[in-house]
Amino acid sequence: MEYQNIIFSTKDNIAWIRFNRPDKLNAMNAQLLGELEKAIIECEGNDEVTVIILTGNEKAFMAGADIGPLAKGDVSTGYGVADSTMKVQERLADLPKPTIAAISGFALGGGLEIALCCDFRLAAENAVFGLPEITLGIIPGGGGTQRLPRLVGLGPATEMLMLGITIKANRALSIGLVKEIVALDQLEAKAEELAKQLAKVPACAMRACKTAMRAGLNTGLKEGLNIEKIAFSMLFGTLDQKEGMAAFMEKRNPKFLGK
């Protein structure tokens, strides 16, 4: 598959996935979704890639889904769209490498849902967030009703989901939806700076940390603690654990191998 709706590139162990439908404010369609899945698979299989950044353009990260093809759909259409979307988004959420959403302009509907699948969200000053599906007579179909309340709490999520309102960057920061607000012309540089910090973290520990957190969210505290216990124990079988602790004892910088 050729990339036509995204621009995919790698540099210095960082993969960039840039949504590229500028005439549609990067709105999601089946082709873009398929290309996103392909890019995620490439990142999964490339050991040189340690961090993934998703972004759009100045006007839009992604302004939801292409409504035209959905307007005359029936129940099976709706189910198919939700099913295919969730499969790709789950793959992104479960990616064992850290992910960053660098957001400028609109992040609405499916665009916000993709950002919610990432580990970190950075917002430019012009960023606008929302899940306005209810104003179209539907609800989010890519995880928005589930991920947003878990991230920002029931109160703010209820307001966004039931009223279909949009919020600006300052409000997004105050409810914990984004990590930081940066100037538009500094957004990608700030995302790259964060990516380079994450790339220094030992890969085995990073995978274990992300897996434990994600798996723990889907279970009770007791089960989550057991997941953490197992992940913690398994890391003692890695070279990075030996190197990290030896470097600490010897008061030197560690040289992690990702093994």
Q: Which residues are catalytic?
A: 113, 133
Tokens encoding 156: 């703010």
Report which of 87, 120, 127, 132 is spatially closest to residue 106, judged by C-alpha positions: 127
In terms of phi and psi (left: phi > 0; alpha: psi -120 to 50; beta: otherwise), the region of 258 is: left
d(CA 146, CA 143): 5
Looking at the DSSP bridge assignments, the partners of residue 154 are: none
Tokens encoding 174: 């105050």
Q: Exposure of 164 by Cβ count < 10 A (0-12 exposed, 13-18 middle, 19+ buried)?
A: middle
Distances (CA, A) of 249 to 12, 13, 72, 78, 204: 30, 29, 65, 57, 20
d(CA 141, CA 58): 26
Q: Tokens 């967030």 sit at which residue?
A: 129
Q: Which long-range contacts (CB under 8 A, 24 or more apart) does 244-251 make?
A: 244/202, 244/205
Helix (H, G, I), strand (E, B) or coil at 78: helix
**Which amino acid, residue 60?**
A
